[in-house]
A and B are shown apart, each in its own frame.
Chain A
Amino acid sequence: MNSITVEGLGKRFKDVEAVKDVSFAVAEGEIFGFLGPNGAGKTTTINMLCTLLRPTSGTATVNGYDVVRQRKEVRRSLGLIFQETTLDDYLTAEQNLLFHAYAYSVPKSVREPRMKELLTMLELWDRRKESVATYSGGMRRRLEIARGLLHHPKVLFLDEPTLGLDPQTRRHIWRYILDLRERENLTFFMTTHYMDEAEHCDRIAVIDQGRIVALDTPDNLKDALGGDVLSLRSENNEAAMLEIRERYDLQPQLEDGQVVFNVPRGEQFLPEFVRRFGQRLLSVGIRRPTLEDVFLKLTGHAIRDEEASPAEIMRRRWGGRR
C-alpha cells in the first residue's frame, strides 16, 4: 500500500504558481526525498500534504485519507517536523512533549513509556527537565523529532531537517532517522537541498520551479547521466575535445579550463584512453557523478547558486516566517 499518493497537485498564490501539476506515490516504509533549491515549491507541497494549505488543483492522500476532505484523520496519522523551530522556549522538553500528547489525545499509559523510549533514543532523557531555551540547535531538532513521533504517526514529514546544523550533528540526525525506519517501519517524506542528504533517500524527486523534473533512486538518477565523470586538462584542450568527440563519439564540455565528459565504467575506460590519447595530458581525474551533477543536467543550473546564506538560514529558523 502507498503511504502517500499525489495526483496533479498544484498550488497557486495569486499570480505565482508555486507547485505545478505534481504527481507521485510514496510506498510504506520508504524514505522519499524532495530535492530542490529554495523556492522550488518543497515546503508548499509539504504544507498541502499536512493540511496546512489547501491545494488549488489535484488530489492527495496520506495514509489513505484525503488531505482536503479528511483533514482531521490526516493530521492524526502524520508527524511533522518543520523547517523552523516550533518549540516553546519557556517550557521544559518534557512539558513540550506533554502538550503534544494532550493535543493528540495520547493516553497516559501510552505516553509515559513512549516519551521515555524516544527521549532515551534521541539522547535527551537526562535533560528532559531543562528549559528548551538552554538547548542547542541539534538538541532542539532531536526534541522536535521525538515530539513528531510521540503519537505514533505512520508517516513523518521532515522539512529541511538538518538546515543550519553542523555536519557532525547532521550525521547524528541521520543516524536517528535510519534507526527509526528500522524500528518503526515509518515512512519518511523529506525535503532537502543538501545533496549528501538526498543520497540517504530510497527515491528522490528532483523539483525545480514547482515541477518534478525527475523521480528515481539516487543511483538510477546518477546512472542516467551516462556513467562516471572524467575530467582532464591537456596542453591543448580544444584539440583534446575534438579527439574525444571523434574517437569515442562522446560529448565533452569545457568547465573551468577542464575537459569534462561522462563515460560508463570509467575505471576500465581510463587506462586505455590515456595510452592512446594524442595530446600531452596535464591531469586526469575520475569520479562517480553526484546528485549535484544530476541537478545541473536536469535544470541547467546548480542548486548551490540558490543555497541560503547563513544569515538567511538564521532568519528563517528563528523568526519572521509565516
Chain B
Amino acid sequence: MQDVYRGIWVISYRELLRFSRQRSRVLGSFGMPLLLLVVFGAGFNRTIGNLTPGVDFLQFVYPGIITMTVLMSSLFAGLSIVWDREFGFLREVLVAPLSRSGVILGKAVGGGGVALAQGIVLLLLAPVVGIALGPMVILQVIPLLVLVSLTLSGLGILVATMMRSQQGFQVVMQLMIFPLMFLSGIFFPVNNVPAWLQIVSKVNPLTYGVDAIRQVMLGASAAASPLVDGAPLGVTVFGHTMSVLEDAVVLGVLAVALMTAAVWSFNRQE
C-alpha cells in the first residue's frame, strides 16, 4: 500500500512540476476558455436572450466553459503517459519500486491538480466577465470539478494505455473531445434538442458534470425552471430532473469504473 501512495505523490508531483516549467502551456491553457468567455459575453449574449427567467446566455454557458477547461487538462493526463513512453521516461518509472496502480493514480491526481488550478483561476475571473459568485458557491464547485477531472483523466489514461504513439493518441482525442464538448450541454440545454441528440448527450459523462456545476451556480430552482417549450433547463433522465447529488453519484461511479479499467489496462500492457 505504501508503494501505491508513494507512486501517487511522486508521479503527481512531477506532473505539477512539469506543468509549472512549461510557461507556454500555463498561458495557453487559460487562453482558450478566456477567449470563449469574452466572445460569448460580448457577442452572443445580446443576440440570445434569457434562456429562462433570470438566466442569460453568459450565465448559462459560464459553468460549461469551466467544465470544458477541466476536460481539456484532464485528458492531458493521458497524453503525458504516451509522451513518457515515447521519450523513454516511462521506463525509469516502471523500473522504480513504485506500484503500477500508484503510477496511474498519480497521473490522474497530477492532471487533476493542473485542471483544478485552471478551473479555480477561471472561477476567480468570474467578476471580470460580469458574473457574481459567492465564496460558498466556489467551495461547492471545487469538489465537483475534482470529480469531473477524475472521470475524464480515467478516460484519457485508459485510451493512453492502448496507444503507442502521440499521433495516434491525438487523433483519438480529437475524435473524442469534440463530441464530448458539444454534446454535453455546455452550449445548449440538452432537453431542448431532437430526441436522438438527447440520448447521445445523456450518455456523455461530461453532461452530468456540467449540469451539477451549473445547478450549484444558478441554484436548483433555475434548473427546474422551464425553457421556452416547457422542458426544464436541467438534465432529465427518464423524466426525472437530476439533482446535484445524483449528478455527482453518476460521475463518481464512472470515475471509479474508468480508473479501474485504466489501471487494469496499464498493468496488462507494461
Contact = CB atoms under 8 A, between A and B. Distances in A.
A91 B96 contact: no
Contacts of B90: 86
B97 interface: yes
B92 interface: yes
Nearest to B91: A86
B239 interface: no
B93 A320 contact: no
Interface residue range, chain B: 20 to 34
Interface stretch (A94-102, A115-123, A178-186, A269-277): A94-102
Contact of B96 (A104, A320, A322): A104
Contacts of A102: 6, 9-10, 13
A152 interface: no
Contacts of A322: 85, 164
Interface string A298-322: 0000000000000000000001111
A103 B93 contact: yes
Q: DSSP majority for the B interface? A: helix
Contacts, number: 70
B17 interface: yes
A322 B161 CA distance: 13
A258 interface: no
B95 interface: yes
B230 interface: no
B87 interface: yes
Nearest to B103: A103
Contact of B89 (A80, A87, A131): A87
Given A72-B97, A99-B14, A86 B92 contact: yes
B88 A85 contact: yes
B88 A100 contact: no
Contacts of A86: 87-92
A100 B11 CA distance: 11
Interface residue range, chain A: 20 to 34
A107 to B, nearest CB: 13
Contacts of B94: 52
A102 B17 CA distance: 14
Nearest to A89: B87
A253 interface: no
A75 interface: yes
Contact of A319 (B3, B6, B17, B87): B87
Contacts of B92: 82, 86-87, 100, 147
Nearest to B19: A90
A91 B3 contact: no
A155 interface: no
User: Of residues B18, B85, B87, which shows the largest number of chain A Cβ atoms within 10 Å of its Cβ?
Assistant: B87
Contacts of B88: 82, 84-87, 319, 321
A88 interface: yes
A85 B93 CA distance: 13
Nearest to B269: A322
A286 to B, nearest CB: 45
B86 A72 contact: no
Nearest to B86: A319
Given A85-B88, A103-B96, A320-B86, A90 B6 contact: no
Interface string B1-44: 00100100110011001100110000000000000000000000
Contacts of A76: 97
Given A72-B3, A102-B6, A102-B10, A91 B97 contact: no
Given A50-B95, A52-B94, A103-B96, A91 B10 contact: no
A105 interface: yes
B97 A75 contact: yes
A75 B95 contact: yes
Contacts of A147: 92
B98 interface: yes
A191 interface: no
Interface string A258-299: 000000000000000000000000000000000000000000
A105 B91 CA distance: 18
Given A84-B88, A103-B6, A322-B164, A90 B22 contact: yes
A131 B20 CA distance: 13
Interface string B153-179: 000000000001100000000000000
Contacts of B17: 91, 95
A187 interface: no
Interface in B86-117: 86-98
B252 to A, nearest CB: 30
Interface string B75-90: 0000000000111111
20 contacts: A52-B91, A72-B3, A82-B92, A86-B88, A86-B89, A87-B88, A88-B18, A88-B89, A89-B87, A90-B22, A99-B14, A100-B92, A102-B13, A103-B6, A103-B96, A103-B97, A104-B97, A105-B97, A147-B92, A320-B165
Given A105-B97, A321-B88, 17 more contacts: A72-B3, A75-B96, A85-B87, A86-B87, A86-B88, A86-B89, A86-B92, A88-B89, A90-B21, A90-B22, A91-B14, A99-B10, A99-B13, A103-B93, A103-B97, A104-B96, A104-B97
Interface of A: 50-52, 72, 75-76, 80, 82, 84-91, 95, 99-100, 102-105, 131, 147, 319-322
Q: Enumerate the 10 nearest inter-chain pairs by beta-carbon distance, A residue then B residue, closest first.
A: A86-B88, A103-B96, A75-B97, A86-B92, A102-B10, A90-B18, A84-B88, A103-B10, A76-B97, A86-B91
